[in-house]
């Protein structure tokens, strides 16, 4: 009876994250300590459960909760993506689509705890604490969601990039094995609070995943890149129009007046 109840709890915990969204990768990568092991690439259609089952349990498990990013914002994370790719170049990565669903982080953490037989609770970790991590624990780093005006989003992007740039090299330097997971959930996890040295308020902000947006929200035509491009195009057209008007004003007649008929 107790075993059956445990199985039901496990199924309930993973159910919210079995829906996938193919807009960006969900990456599971082993760290330096387990570089000798081999992990085959996972078919995108394979469930998250299979991905978790294939993870060799490590001494330290790091989970990065990354909010889904709109296509127009991907350029802001180009350096981070390059660093992540470099971290997973040893053929030990698994790539599946994004996981969707509320409380996805809690569900994934719970499932990994069961798979790796880890009884301790997940713990938020600061960038500066990476090198002093205790073994046999799960550590979570939450990245802020994109929302608000352009200025606020830029602050969030800068903060997230700072966290990633500091965290990736330290994760690579760990002597113990570690697992890195990117999810699209940005629901504030209970008991898992993001800690940073740069305060930024996102308490009242909300982030709507791309597939859940309205038509107007999906096809946003006015972001920072489009704004800068529009200004440049407007200046070019304005100067060209002035030039054409000047040329037309000084243009000489191309025809002689016809003589009056008698």
Calpha distance 107→184 (Å, rounded): 13
Nearest to 144 by CA among 135, 154, 136: 154
Cβ neighbours for 28, distance < 8 A, ≥ 6 positions apart: 51, 55, 93, 94, 95, 96, 179, 180, 181
Contact 154, 72 (CB under 8 A): no
Q: What pLDDT, on a 0 to 100 scale, did the predictor assign at position 91? A: 55
Q: What pLDDT, on a 0 to 100 scale, did the predictor assign at position 66? A: 64
Calpha distance 241→235 (Å, rounded): 10
Q: What's the pTM?
A: 0.51
Cβ neighbours for 135, distance < 8 A, ≥ 6 positions apart: 59, 60, 176
Contact 190, 106 (CB under 8 A): yes
Q: What pLDDT, on a 0 to 100 scale, did the predictor assign at position 187? A: 41
Instruction: Tell me the two tokens of residue 181.
Output: 């997971």
> For each of the chain's 262 residues, which pLDDT tens digit applies?
333 333 333 333 333 344 444 444 556 666 555 544 555 555 555 566 777 777 777 777 777 776 655 555 555 666 666 666 666 655 566 665 555 555 667 777 788 888 888 776 777 777 677 767 766 677 777 776 666 777 777 777 777 777 777 777 777 776 667 777 766 544 443 333 333 333 333 333 344 445 555 555 555 555 555 666 778 888 889 898 888 888 877 765 555 556 666 5
Q: What pLDDT, on a 0 to 100 scale, did the predictor assign at position 106? A: 74
């Amino acid at each position: 009876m107790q075993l059956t109840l445990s199985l039901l709890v496990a199924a309930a915990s993973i159910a919210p994250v079995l829906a996938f969204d193919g807009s960006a990768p969900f990456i599971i990568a082993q760290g330096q300590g387990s570089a000798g092991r081999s992990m085959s690439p996972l078919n995108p259609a394979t469930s998250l459960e299979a991905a978790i089952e294939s993870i060799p349990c490590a001494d330290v498990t790091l989970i990065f909760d990354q909010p889904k990013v709109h296509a127009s914002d991907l350029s802001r994370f180009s350096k981070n993506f390059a660093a992540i790719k470099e971290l997973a170049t040893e053929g030990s990565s698994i790539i599946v689509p994004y996981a969707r669903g509320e409380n996805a982080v809690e569900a994934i953490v719970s499932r990994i705890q069961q798979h790796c037989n880890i009884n301790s609770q997940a713990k938020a970790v600061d960038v500066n604490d990476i090198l002093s991590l205790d073994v046999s624990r799960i550590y979570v780093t939450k990245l802020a969601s994109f929302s608000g005006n352009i200025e606020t989003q830029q602050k969030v992007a800068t903060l997230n990039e700072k966290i990633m740039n500091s965290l990736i090299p330290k994760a690579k330097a760990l002597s113990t094995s570690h697992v890195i997971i990117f999810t699209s959930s940005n629901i504030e996890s209970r008991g898992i609070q993001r800690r940073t040295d740069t305060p930024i308020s996102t308490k009242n902000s909300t982030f709507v995943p791309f597939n859940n947006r309205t038509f107007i929200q999906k096809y946003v035509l006015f972001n920072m890149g489009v704004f800068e491009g529009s200004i440049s195009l407007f200046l070019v057209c304005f100067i060209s129009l002035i030039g054409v008007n000047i040329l037309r004003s000084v243009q000489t007649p191309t025809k002689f007046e016809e003589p009056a008929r008698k």
